[in-house]
Amino acid sequence: MYDLVIRGARLADDTLIALAVKDGKIASVGRLAADVSAVRQLDLAGNCRLSAGWIDAHVHCYPDSPIYHDEPDRVGVASGVTSVVDAGSTGADDIDAFYQLTRSAKTNVFAFLNISRIGLLRQNELAELTDIDKHEAGQAIANHPGFIIGIKARMSSSVVGKNGTRPLVLAKEIQRENRQLPLMVHIGNNPPNLDEIADLLTRGDIITHCYNGKPNRILTPAGTLRESIQRALRRGVLLDVGHGTASFSFEVARQAIKLGILPHTISSDIYCRNRMNGPVHSLATVMSKFFSVGLTLPQVIACVTENAASALQLSGKGRLEPGYDADFTLFELRREPQVFADAEGQTAAGEQLLVPLAAVVAGEILLTEQGEAAHVFDL
């Protein structure tokens, strides 16, 4: 007997499938016999879409952070997101406390360790090189395998002060000494110049805030892609959206996508203020904005499922295949006029909105507020 059977699920490409779950894993995908038994059966009758669980690769959900904070389940399962990655809110000093807090969350919570031991205790956490302790970072990573899945370096002038690219050089050393974990690099105002940053990055490194509208952006004033970014992409460096309060421009995204420069991952950079006041609101809202700049539903879904799992080295997630974790997002694609805002104060008209109805984590169904209101599920 299965724990859960879902029938009539509509995928991003409009295919209808059935899934069976056993012990928190996907046991079967495809057609299922009508008389299959399960503890719980859910027939969506093609009225609801399903994907592998959405992964938000860049959030800030350490509640005790004095600058950027939120609750893991508020930005996670309550928003249809099954896995979140906190992007550097904590360093070696407070990663233990963050880890303990996440053990009671329904959402799968992971962390990029800030290379500064103090984390986001203040905005310029990389202004003092003495706060970058490679030994302490390595010890934290060793103490939390499977929770710390990468490291984070914020490379903008307000963060690094007069240190230029030196923090990034130290980040690469920490990376090499710790199983070559993914490195996420925040780009913003210069110095350091984006060209200097990009030339230090190697395969699998992640540039977040890739479509920011600041002068230190991926496009030249002429609207072409910087040569340093071209070289980085050829080396296998990945682009992450990291929308945030000040790091997403419709104009830059639209131009880049026309050039074929698509995001590898779509993430929100969400925390309480930009969730409540915008312009982020939720991962679903950020995903929906990409219909307005040229992406299709299958492309958008790939950016928060298989692409994200690959970039973050989450081997059991991101795909609807037997043996993978039974993490799903159930959602609607509503077709109605929308007006979306970016981080530059610009707006874009849209016709489609993703509405998450439920997160399924290891086979457990967790309805969102929209899911409860929609009365789609007979639970």
Q: What is the DSSP letter of 215?
A: S
269 marked as binding residue: yes
- C-alpha distance from residue 374 to each of 47, 69, 288, 360, 369 (Å): 11, 30, 19, 17, 9
**Beta strand 38-43 pairing with 2-10:** parallel
289 marked as binding residue: no
- Cα–Cα distance for residue pair 295/170, rounded to 1 Å: 36
144 marked as binding residue: no
135 marked as binding residue: no
Q: Return the structure tokens found at 325.
A: 């974790």
- Cα–Cα distance for residue pair 209/300, rounded to 1 Å: 17
186 marked as binding residue: yes
**Distance from chain centroid for Cα 6:** 26
243 marked as binding residue: no
- Cα–Cα distance for residue pair 331/319, rounded to 1 Å: 16
**Distance from chain centroid for Cα 234:** 22
- For 259, half-sphere exposure in the C-beta direction (CA atoms, 13 angstrom radius) is 19
Which residues carry a binding-site annotation? 58, 60, 152, 186, 209, 269
Which residues carry a binding-site annotation for Zn(2+)? 58, 60, 152, 186, 209, 269
